[in-house]
């Protein structure tokens, strides 16, 4: 990251594990790699994983008004398991 540039990061919820339970994770967007990296906390150095955003689509449940979409945004990648 160059001096003076802001880094896009913060807590989000993601589904994880065999039961698809929601987990609170710290996410950091890396623009040069077009990926979201996620961590247990902001202090962690090594990410738990990453999500490629190239080719991904974003969806919002149809029962939500557009103003509330950000709270229930879905991210789907063509290579995701069904």
Q: CATH topology for 9-76?
A: PH-domain like (2.30.29)
Q: What is the pLDDT of residue 50?
A: 92
pTM check: above 0.85 = no
Among the listed residues 10, 3, 53, the one whose alpha carbon sits nearest the alpha carbon of residue 32: 53
Q: What is the pLDDT of residue 13?
A: 85
> pLDDT (tens digit, 0 to 9) for every residue of the chain, 82 residues total?
455 566 789 998 888 778 888 889 999 998 888 888 999 999 999 999 998 888 877 766 666 555 555 555 566 666 665 4
**Residue 74, Cα to own-chain centre: how many angstroms?**
9
**By CB neighbour count within 10 A (0-12 exposed, 13-18 middle, 19+ buried), where does 75 fall?**
middle
Between CA 11 and CA 3 the distance in angstroms is 23
Q: What is the pLDDT of residue 52?
A: 87
């Amino acid at each position: 990251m160059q001096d003076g540039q802001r880094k896009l990061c913060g807590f989000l919820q993601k589904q994880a594990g065999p039961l698809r339970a929601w987990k609170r994770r710290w996410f950091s967007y890396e623009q040069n790699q077009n990926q979201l990296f996620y961590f247990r906390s902001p202090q962690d150095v090594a990410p738990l994983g990453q999500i490629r955003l190239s080719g991904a689509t974003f969806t919002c449940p149809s029962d939500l008004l557009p103003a509330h979409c950000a709270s229930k945004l879905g991210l789907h990648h063509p290579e995701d398991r069904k």
